[in-house]
Amino acid sequence: MLLGSLCTTDHNQMVCAVGDGKCNISDWIVIDLTEPQETLKKAIDYFKGFDDLAAIGISSFGPLELRTYSSQYGYIKESSRPNWQNINLLGTFKHHFNIPISFTTDVNSRAYGEYISSILTDDPILSLAYITISDGVGVGIVNDGKFVGHMGSPEIGHIIPQRNVNDQDFKGTCPYQGDCLEGLVSTKAIEARTHQRPQEISMFNPLWDTVAFYIAQSVIQTTVFIRPQKVILGGSILNEIELGKIKEQFKKLFDGYLDVGDIDQYITLPSQDADKLSIIGNLALAKQQFYSEDIR
């Protein structure tokens, strides 16, 4: 069985790939995100090069309309990316391909990629949360092989964390809540504070302790609400040093309230490159879509 995957990335790109039913990737291309019509034409042309394609899995930046009963199911809604508002992403592909197509968020596909990878390596993670922090903040939650969130994906980026005592004057960058999690820790928030890109800021800068303080609170909220087996932290601002700061803040703030086991196994970086995880997740979701539509 040949399956396709389309995923957007944290680098303003789109990755199109094909693989088999066991999530082995056989081919892929990277497309820069430009105008929607130009970008999607390149993706469609790529998949048209495979005559025996059985199904496609699509995952994208949002916000997305994920309610299957909505007339706008499959749309990219009010995106902050120029010219990518109200794009019928799923419908465009259904117009060109008469095959099953799954549709979800970019972070959901990464979370599902982690879940599938754990199954394939005989070390199953049956409940996990994948939090990504880049231009925005999102989460994908998988519990027993299913996503959490019927009306749409959970919006952890818009929780309101307790403010750090050294960060009282910053108003945040979120156009809706201001100082929600996304408004405090996204790349836009970091750049607004420092006028530097995150990768240009020394890891000795105390700002990273402040960022870790906020991210640790999101891990605590995830822990008490979801009780997952693992919390995975990804995105462009995460690295081993920042991960260590987050773990320390988590231990200090949570104070052992619940037993999460070995913290180094509980809070981790992604097991693989985020784009590869998205592809694996999309291939698995495409396979599921193929069999669910075939049954109907």
Nearest-5° Cα angle at 184, 183 to 187: 80
For 143, other C-beta atoms within 10 Å of its C-beta total 16
Average pLDDT of the segment spanning 22-39: 97
pLDDT per position as a tens digit, 203-245: 999 999 999 999 999 999 999 999 999 999 999 999 999 999 9
Cα(199)–Cα(239) distance, integer angstroms: 10
Which DSSP letter does residue 52 get?
A: T
Q: What percent of the chain has pLDDT over 70?
A: 99
Quick one: pLDDT at residue 78? Answer: 85
pLDDT at 75 over 90: yes
Cα(140)–Cα(156) distance, integer angstroms: 9
**Is it true that the peptide bond before 63 is cis, omega within 30 degrees of 0?**
yes
Q: Model pTM?
A: 0.95
| Confidence label for 200 from pLDDT (cuts 50, 70 and 90) | very high
pLDDT per position as a tens digit, 82-120: 899 999 999 999 999 999 999 999 999 999 999 999 999
Domain ranges for the chain: 2-109, 122-268
pLDDT per position as a tens digit, 136-157: 999 999 999 999 987 888 999 9
**Distances in whole angstroms, Cα of residue 144 to Cα of each of 35, 70, 116, 268:** 38, 26, 11, 20
pLDDT at 11 over 90: no
Instruction: Strands of the chain (E only): list them.
Output: 2-8, 13-20, 25-32, 53-60, 75-76, 87-88, 101-105, 127-133, 137-143, 146-147, 230-234, 267-268
**Distances in whole angstroms, Cα of residue 44 to Cα of each of 87, 140, 151, 235:** 15, 26, 28, 27
**φ, ψ for residue 223, nearest 5 deg:** -60, -50
pLDDT per position as a tens digit, 259-289: 999 999 999 999 999 999 999 999 999 999 9
Strand partners, 129: 141, 231
Both tokens assigned to 227 = 């009780």
| CATH architecture of the domain formed by 2-109 | 2-Layer Sandwich (3.30)
Nearest-5° Cα angle at 41, 35 to 45: 155
Cα(130)–Cα(120) distance, integer angstroms: 18
Place of tokens 């090069």: 49
Quick one: pLDDT at residue 293? Answer: 78
User: Domain 122-268 classified CATH 3.30.420.40?
Assistant: yes
Quick one: pLDDT at residue 294? Answer: 58
- The helix (H) or strand (E) run that includes residue 249 is helix 240-254
Quick one: pLDDT at residue 201? Answer: 96
Mean pLDDT of the chain: 96
Average pLDDT of the segment spanning 165-188: 95
First to last CA, the chain: 19
Q: What percent of the chain has pLDDT over 90?
A: 92
Contact between residue 247 and residue 267 where contact means Cβ atoms under 8 Å apart: yes
Is the fold of 2-109 the same as that of 122-268?
yes
Q: Which of 60, 54, 64 is nearest to 14 (CA)?
A: 60
